[in-house]
Amino acid sequence: MKQRLLLFSCCIGSFLFGAFITNDDPKKPLTSEMVEVAARVFDLEFSPAERDSMLGNLNNARTNYEALRKIDLPNNVAPALYFNPLPAGFVMPTGPSSFKESAPGKVTLPVNRDELAFYTVGQLGQLIRTKQISSVELTQFFLNRLKTYDPKLHCVITLTEDLALSQAKRADDELKAGKYRGPLHGIPYGAKDLLAKKGYKTTWGATPYKDQTLDMDATVIQRLEKAGAVLCGKMTLGALAMGDVWYGGMTRNPWNTNNGSSGSSAGSASSVSAGLLPFAIGTETMGSIVSPSTICGTTGLRPTFGRVSRHGAMALSWSMDKIGPITRSVEDCALVFNAIYGPDGNDPTVMAAPFRYAPLTSLKGMRIGYVKKGFESNYPNRANDSLTLQTLRTLGAELVPFDLPTGVPAGRISFLLTVEAAAAFDELTRSGRDDLLTSQGRGAWPNAFRSSRFVPAVEYIQANRARTKLINEMDAQLKAAKIDVYVSPAYAGGNLTITNLTGHPCVVLPNGFSKQNLPTSITFMGQLFEEGKVLAVAKAYQDATEWNKKHPTLQ
């Protein structure tokens, strides 16, 4: 084990202190002087007598930590404490689920087959259902595009070609036999490579795990297979779900391949944007669906925390990780989400709630909030976002000023993420294998993991108590405004941090281009478990614009 300047470190749910010591004897008993130095790290002050009284407890605690570290705790073992996003008095939606897809109209096979690259899931589903094209043909088409353009975009970690062709053949055989699984039947897709699939590597985008195989299928992959979807590839992610740099390089933005695609759902967004796949699965802990969708001009759904099972997915933050689709249209997000949501018996944080979706013919009379302080601030995408508000007014919506809660500074408690991540990758840090990660800067995971070990367990608990207050304040703000849906700048105004902490659902979609001719985005937000409402409103806006129909040109 690498010798570090850590005497003993943060352990959630345990008594905690840290201290700086020399490397000559890391096992020697703590002294009053060591405790004094450690206390300074946490802005605490104890008298010599108080420090002396603590020594017995602290030395015993260190013995406990040593014993704890001998217990095998792989990444898929969650803490016994589960995050619950429900505010006080919240009433869970009840009743049956319902799903009404838009009338597809007449969909025909294009003369130029290359145009299939940018057909929506709904359109491709119609072509397969009406047997204008087979799943095998469509799968081969997208596999060829992945092979052709991945050397330029670096968006694929593992191409699952054999699996894809066998799943596509099964889809075709079933359709011939009269068995139709629904709108995803025979549709190719990609999965972020933190989702396990038997027989294939699950690398988490990180050098220490690049040869890792997990003998399981993630629940999301199981459910997509049940829906008839065809897995074509494991897509790139920034190492351990940060950014767009993985052990094979940097995933590129199809709109400008000199730029990265952002992350951490880097390959999922890049591939969909470039027309290499009809849809892909991403995850978000703090912006990992919103950010790459913004950069790449895709449409993404970050569901309510507790909506989609994370069984078989890499854990980064047990109280913040969420799984959702990245697609070309809002309704495609609805189609995919309809296949993957709901309890599975393996992820205890997932709650049963209906999903009800139906397209809106009009926004007339609907009260839609907008984050006033965010829209009025000075930020790069302000002009495009202002036009989004005008479009909503034109569609008949009543725009209501909405203020995000201010009682709890969300940025001050967002260290919850890095503390949980440090626990999830505790062994990586203590073994010194964190040196193998591609990114090693001050803002990268290795430094964040090490620094997080100095967060006192008491402060972690206090931050979670403040999070409870934030959740209740957010609920109060929504009730006071009497709105179910609101819009926010993708980044300005603090909405991204707050709602990732509170667990609210978000739909991010393109709303224009920057001066550099790169996509920009807007976010639609809603109440917990009300993805259907958010998707319906976002679709009405998207149908009134053409931004999602703009595509990059790849050479």
As a residue count, the chain comes to 555
Question: Is 264 a known active-site residue?
Answer: yes
Question: Is 288 a known active-site residue?
Answer: yes
Of 9, 261, 262, 264, catalytic: 264
Instruction: Tell the residue number behind the tokens 């260290």, with chain if given.
Output: 415
| CB 187 within 8 Å of CB 278 | yes
d(Cα 247, Cα 123) in Å, to the nearest integer? 36
Question: Is 192 a known active-site residue?
Answer: yes
d(Cα 435, Cα 438) in Å, to the nearest integer? 8
Of 134, 288, 309, 452, catalytic: 288
d(Cα 164, Cα 159) in Å, to the nearest integer? 9
Tokens of 244: 């767009």
Of 134, 135, 192, 262, catalytic: 192
Instruction: Tell the residue number behind the tokens 């393996």, with chain if given.
Output: 346
Tokens of 40: 């300074």
Burial of 293 (0-12, 13-18, 19+ CB in 10 A): buried
Burial of 51 (0-12, 13-18, 19+ CB in 10 A): buried
Q: What are the distances in angstroms from CA 402 to CA 333, 375, 476?
A: 26, 11, 12
How far does Cα 150 stand from its chain's mean position?
A: 22
Q: What are the distances in angstroms from CA 498 to CA 149, 156, 260?
A: 37, 31, 26
Strand order in the sheet with 367-371: 156-159, 230-235, 188-192, 280-284, 322-327, 299-302, 506-513, 519-526, 485-489, 367-371, 398-402
What are the DSSP E strand ranges found in 261-352? 280-284, 299-302, 322-327
AA identity, residue 171 = A
Active site residues: 192, 264, 288
